[in-house]
Structure 1
Amino acid sequence: MEVVVWSAWIAGIAMGLFVIFHFWLMGKPAGCSTGYGNFCGMMFKNVEYFRTGEYKNINNSRLWFLLGIPIGGLISALGSPEPWHFSFDMGMYNDILPQTLAGKAIWLIFGGALLGFGARLAGACTTGHALVGGAMLNPPSLLAGAVFFMSAFFTTHLLFGT
């Protein structure tokens, strides 16, 4: 069965339109890490690190945005002509990750926790800084986006030598 892949420029236009419409409809920029922080604030009410002021209200747009990411992925997978299955196959990363399923899970959870901590420390995630902040020409966001991409480039070079 042939897999149809959309052009990258279509996704770029769609993301740009999403950023504009989200700001227009909600009156605030889109971002995932704030929603994740709000969720953690609801789960760990006594931990000061997660308090953002919005965490008490379950009916805020950032939490629904965060919830929509896995739901959108599930809908996309269910609508795919190819059957999907749960897999720990990480493609090119199989060469550098542990080979056991437990080892991969621990490594990925640790990496996700570091990513969440870094997003909280930077005040937003890559979506918030590079996509939304870049679209608004916010200088700290442009700098953060450049640092994110340079870090990814150097990390990939160190891990794979390409």
Structure 2
Amino acid sequence: MAIDIWPGWVGGIGIGLFVILHFWIMGRPAGCSTGYGNFCGYICRLNYFRSGEYKELNNPRLWFLLGIPVGGLISAQASSEPWHVSFTMGMYDAVLPQTFTGKALWLTFGGMLLGFGARLAGACTTGHALVGGAMLNPPSLVAGMVFFASAMGMTWLLFYV
């Protein structure tokens, strides 16, 4: 059975339309690191993660964040292809620890660094590169370039050095 893969430009148009629609409906740029940070702030009681008017646990950005895995689950359920939970990471399996525990610890540490960096930068890659880039916000354009250059550099270090 063949798997249908949509062209990349369809995804680009979809993301662009989502960014505009989100801003139009919510009156604020899209981004999920604030919702995640607020959730972490309530779990560990650190004010560092809570920001601005989104100090309440029930906020639009948290619902946006929760919608990401729920949307993925709905998409998987609607697919004609069978799906299953898997911890294979494709090409990253060659550089990550092979045990489940080692992989989970490594990825959790990386996620914590990503969260700290997103809070330090004022937004995640979604907030800066997609939304800030679409709004031609100069700090967001610089942050997006730094994010992608860092990712390319880290990939080069992991696979070619």
| Alignment TM-score, normalising by the size of structure 2 | 0.94
Q: CA deviation at 1:81?
A: 1.7
What amino acid is aligned across from residue 100 of structure 1 in structure 2?
T
Q: CA deviation at 1:43?
A: 2.4
Q: CA deviation at 1:57?
A: 2.8
Equivalent position SS for 1:121: helix
8 Å contact from structure 1 (residues 38, 50) kept in 2:
yes
Equivalent position SS for 2:131: helix
What amino acid is aligned across from residue 81 of structure 1 in structure 2?
S
What amino acid is aligned across from residue 108 of structure 2 in structure 1?
I
Greater shift after overlay, 76-85 or 103-112? Answer: 76-85
- 2:98 match: 99
8 Å contact from structure 1 (residues 119, 125) kept in 2:
yes
For structure 2, the 5+ residue unaligned runs are none
Cα deviations by residue, 1:99-145 (Å, 9 ceiling, x for unpaired): 11111111111111111111111100000000000001000000000
Q: CA deviation at 1:55?
A: 4.2
- 1:35 match: 35
CA distance in 1, matches of 2:54, 2:26: 17
What amino acid is aligned across from residue 125 of structure 1 in structure 2?
C
Q: CA deviation at 1:44?
A: 3.1
CA distance in 2, matches of 1:132, 1:117: 20
Q: RMSD in angstroms over aligned alpha carbons?
A: 1.4
- 1:82 match: 81
| Alignment TM-score, normalising by the size of structure 1 | 0.94
CA distance in 2, matches of 1:79, 1:42: 34
Cα deviations by residue, 1:87-109 (Å, 9 ceiling, x for unpaired): 11111011100111111111111
Are positions 1:118 and 2:110 aligned together? no
Equivalent position SS for 1:54: coil
- 1:18 match: 18
Greater shift after overlay, 35-44 or 52-61? Answer: 52-61
CA distance in 2, matches of 1:32, 1:85: 26
After TM superposition, the runs of 4+ consecutive aligned structure 1 residues lying more than 4 A away are: none
Alignment of 1:126-141 (within 5 A): 126-141=125-140
